[in-house]
Amino acid sequence: LIRTKYTRYLLWLPTISLPSTILSCASSYTRATDSEFNHPQSKIGKIKYFHDGISSISLSFSPKHLLQNPPVQSNKNNKKFNVQLGDMAWRSHGQNNSDMVNALERNKVLKSKRVKDAMLQIDRGQFAASASQAYRDEPHPIGFSATMSAPHMHAVCLDALAPALQENGGRALDVGSGTGYLTAVLGVMVGPQGTSYGVEHVPALVQYAKDRMERAPETKEMMRMGQVVFVQGDGRHGLRDHAPFDIIHVGAAAPMVPDHLKDQLKVGGRLIIPVGISEQWVLQIDRISQTEFTERKLMGVRYVPLTDLDRQLSDYL
């Protein structure tokens, strides 16, 4: 059942061939809370799910924007936001990891050579929960009401974090590390003298990430040497024993910025975090002194909520 704001008709279509973008978005989610959608003008409305798949979908969208990202928007001060993904953000698919990374660069989503080199070294397919979706530019569920973010979201966040991350000896924190993919990419970026910490409160996902790191000699060695470390815990509190961090990445949306995370940034450090409930924005927060921070919006998004373990598992069960 599809309803658009441009028509008063309800169409019942027993057999329908939908554009791949709609299908990929729909197939990526197993529950309504498993959505990450950084395309505010392609508004997904009511989505009802059974645990094992999609029951029914009601979509409300602007057709001319469905396959595009919205133009740069302005905030209340009439200043442009810092990130514009462009028309190709959701189309950076590949047959393999290098195809995907090159597509992200070709489509002007990925701009940093340092980030590109790191993404080429870590095969997304090694960590993806779905082999068929590993190199598609879309999020996919990994269980426990969590998702693996779309490649273009990883690329944008890594690009934003790279300037604040020391190249050999840096210290990174990935909150909500999930499959471990982004933690591993950050591990390459911090170098052999640095450490990338992934904190995840779902025990099964912590073990999943460790198991996936063991699958390739390079990532196995990174974990053995302490270049990549996974910790089970509530990421909203950060990892105070290992602070301060050059950068902190948060992979789920907080209702507000946790002070614990800001406090664990070093001076000159950077936090990238989605914030909000009904309306969400990726924020870039820079620590410019012991007591001063700057904050700016990068783009509108839709992420799973950053919550406690019991609440997350109750939503999943």
Task: List the end-to-end C-alpha distance of the chain, in Å, as a whole number.
Answer: 27
On whether the CB atoms of residues 150 and 225 are closer than 8 A, the answer is no
Residue 307's identity, in one-letter code, is T
Active site (annotated) includes residue 56: no
Burial per residue of 98-122, b for 16 or more beta-carbon CB atoms within 10 angstroms, e otherwise:
eebbbbbbebebbebeebbebbebb
Name the catalytic one among 112, 149, 177, 196. Answer: 149
On whether the CB atoms of residues 204 and 180 are closer than 8 A, the answer is no
Q: Which two tokens stand for residue 11?
A: 């169409």
Would you call 29 helix, strand, or coil by DSSP? coil
Q: Which two tokens stand for residue 255?
A: 């209702």
One DSSP character per residue, 43-94 reads -EEEEEEETTEEEEEEE---HHHHTSPPPPPB-TTSPBPS----TTGGG---
One DSSP character per residue, 182-205 reads HHHHHHHHH-TTSEEEEEES-HHH
Phi and psi at 23, nearest 5°, equal -60, -40
Q: Which residues contact 253 (CB under 8 A, 6 or more apart)?
A: 274, 275, 276, 277, 280, 301, 302, 303, 304, 305, 306
Q: Name the residues annotated as catalytic.
A: 149
